[in-house]
């Protein structure tokens, strides 16, 4: 798997953050959730991260430092409530997207950003959750997909949508979990849930248990994307904490615009090669009126219906006279030619009285 030098530097950030966890061990306190030592860790993290990012960014990318550090510092939980949830996970997604939009990471880093950098982030926040007994932010209990995360299930199901070695109905089997937990992100999430929770899987993770009845990983992925849009991106309690800047700007969308969704097997081009198309409503075609026939066309009935005449126009229908049977035939032929009708099916024009 390709990894750029910049991505390797980003991975080393988590090594430094882990040393801070060792510096602030959990306190002996009676609370079930929220060890107060986390606040000391969070304060030190916020003091050191800006300098770490400043040393990491190239000289031409220093202008993005403030926005990037905002997304990254918000990705590890809330120090006041000592909780962590999908909103903090979304902040790290903003951090990843901003890295690509600023072209700090290149197009070749897309796969490793998900399977290496995001995975490393996932391992670290789980360490924070266990060490400081962080409370799940906005969890719906057994009816939630997971107490803390959502994105790894989307990316994990996408990973399994291509030549999966097993069907969805088997992802809760102990042997499948043991064999594939290090290869597939989705299975690693199932393995972690089984380690931190007790009891039957269908009781403590009902939503995931019901997913096993879906026949294909592609359908699972599509369903999870829609669920993420509805339960995370469309919920104000989550989105109210999101920060926007120059890289990840807040832009309104014109009513009626179709939002494109990610497609399995397709990689988006980098921003420098991307064509920006501003959505606009399609204007209605102008209605034009046919010009009136020339005066000479009305001089005689003989010329009026003659299809060989220069003034003949299929949009102008002149009623032929009884003495102009040939003109009548020419007029009907012109109309039939313009409309695609069969000439034999058109009834003859009755004689004028």
Q: What is the CATH number of the domain that holds 46?
A: 1.20.120.1150
pLDDT for 196 equals 87
Q: What is the pLDDT of residue 137?
A: 83
Asked if residue 286 is part of any domain, the answer here is no
Does residue 351 lie within any of the structural domains? no
| Same domain as 184, residue 42 | yes
Same domain, 323 and 177: no
DSSP state of 164: -
Of 349 and 188, which is predicted with more confidence?
A: 188
Report the percent of the chain where pLDDT is more than 70.
72
> Quick one: 325 and 232 in the same domain?
no
pLDDT recorded at residue 263 = 67
Same domain assignment for residues 121 and 248 = yes
**Confidence tier at 236 by pLDDT (50, 70, 90):** confident
Least confident of 27-36, 58-67, 153-162, 295-304: 295-304
Among 324, 329, 323, which Cα is nearest to 343's? 329
C-alpha span between 113 and 188 (Å, rounded): 17
Integer Cα distance of 103 and 200 in angstroms: 46
Q: Is 201 exposed, middle or buried (0-12, 13-18, 19+ CB in 10 A)?
A: middle
Task: Give the per-residue pLDDT at 198.
Answer: 83
Beta strands of 52-174 (E only): which ranges? 83-85, 135-137
User: 294 versus 185: which is more confidently predicted?
Assistant: 185
pLDDT at 251: 84
Claim to verify: residue 214 and residue 111 sit in the same structural domain = yes
What integer is the mean pLDDT of 23-47? Answer: 91
Residues near 142 by beta carbon (within 8 Å), at least 6 away in sequence: 203, 204, 205, 206
Beta strands in the chain (DSSP E): 83-85, 135-137
Residue reference for tokens 């909780």? 83
Pairwise CA distance, residues 339 & 326, whole Å: 20
Chain position carrying tokens 């750029």: 4
Tell me what pLDDT residue 257 has: 77
Q: 119 and 256: one domain?
A: yes
Q: Are residues 199 and 316 in the same domain?
A: no
Across the range 233-238, mean pLDDT stands at 86
For residue 289, name the pLDDT band (cuts at 50, 70, 90): low
Helix, coil or strand: residue 3: coil
- The answer to whether residue 287 is domain-embedded is no
Nearest to 147 by CA among 160, 159, 129, 124: 129
pLDDT at 345: 45
> What is the tens place of the pLDDT at every residue in 301-331?
444 444 443 443 433 333 444 444 443 333 3
Phi, psi values for residue 94, rounded to 5° = -60, -40
Q: Count the domains in the chain.
A: 2
Percent of the chain scored above 90 by pLDDT? 52
Task: Tell whether the model's pLDDT for residue 43 goes beyond 60.
Answer: yes
Higher pLDDT, 76 or 349: 76
Output the pLDDT for position 280.
45
Round to whole Å and give the CA distance between 38 and 45: 10
- Residue 200: predicted pLDDT: 86
Q: Is residue 66 part of a domain?
A: yes
Would residue 285 count as lying in a domain?
A: no
Residues 306 and 232 in one domain: no
Q: DSSP assignment, residue 139? A: -
Checking phi first, is residue 340 left (phi over 0); if not, alpha (psi -120 to 50) or beta? left
Report the pLDDT averaged over residues 284-292. 56
Specify the higher pLDDT residue, 129 or 344.
129
Listed range (148-162, 205-219, 275-289) with the worst mean pLDDT: 275-289
Q: What is the pTM of this model?
A: 0.73
Residue 329: which domain range?
Answer: 295-345
What is the pLDDT, as a whole number, of residue 324?
A: 42
């Amino acid at each position: 798997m390709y990894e750029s030098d910049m991505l390797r530097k980003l991975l080393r950030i988590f090594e430094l953050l882990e040393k801070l966890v060792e510096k602030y061990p959990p306190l002996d306190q009676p609370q079930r959730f929220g060890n107060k030592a986390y606040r000391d860790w969070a304060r030190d993290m916020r003091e050191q991260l800006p300098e770490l990012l400043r040393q990491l960014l190239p000289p031409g990318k220093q202008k993005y430092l403030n926005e990037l550090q905002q997304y990254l510092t918000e990705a590890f939980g809330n120090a006041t409530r000592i909780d962590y949830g999908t909103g903090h996970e979304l902040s790290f997604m903003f951090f990843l997207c901003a890295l690509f939009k600023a072209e700090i990471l290149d197009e070749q880093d897309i796969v490793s950003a998900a399977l290496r950098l995001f995975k490393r982030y996932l391992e670290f926040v789980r360490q924070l959750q266990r060490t400081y007994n962080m409370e799940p932010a906005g969890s719906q209990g057994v009816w939630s997909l997971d107490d803390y995360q959502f994105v790894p299930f989307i990316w994990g199901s996408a990973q399994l949508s291509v030549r999966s070695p097993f069907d969805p109905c088997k992802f809760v089997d102990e042997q499948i979990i043991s064999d594939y937990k290090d290869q597939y992100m989705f299975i690693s999430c199932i393995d972690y849930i089984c380690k931190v929770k007790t009891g039957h899987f269908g009781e403590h993770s009902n939503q995931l248990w019901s997913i096993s009845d879906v026949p294909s990983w592609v359908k699972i992925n599509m369903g999870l994307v829609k669920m993420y849009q509805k339960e995370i991106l469309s919920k104000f309690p989550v989105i109210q904490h999101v920060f926007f800047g120059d890289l990840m700007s807040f832009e309104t969308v014109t009513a009626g615009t179709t939002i494109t969704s990610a497609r399995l097997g397709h990689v988006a081009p980098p921003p420098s090669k991307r064509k920006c198309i501003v959505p606009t409503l399609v204007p209605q075609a102008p209605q034009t009126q046919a010009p009136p026939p020339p005066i000479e066309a009305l001089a005689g009935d003989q010329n009026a219906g003659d299809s060989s005449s220069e003034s003949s126009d299929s949009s102008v229908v002149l009623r032929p006279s009884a003495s102009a049977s040939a003109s009548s035939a020419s007029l009907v032929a012109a109309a039939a030619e313009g409309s695609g009708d069969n000439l034999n099916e058109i009834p003859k024009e009755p004689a004028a009285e």
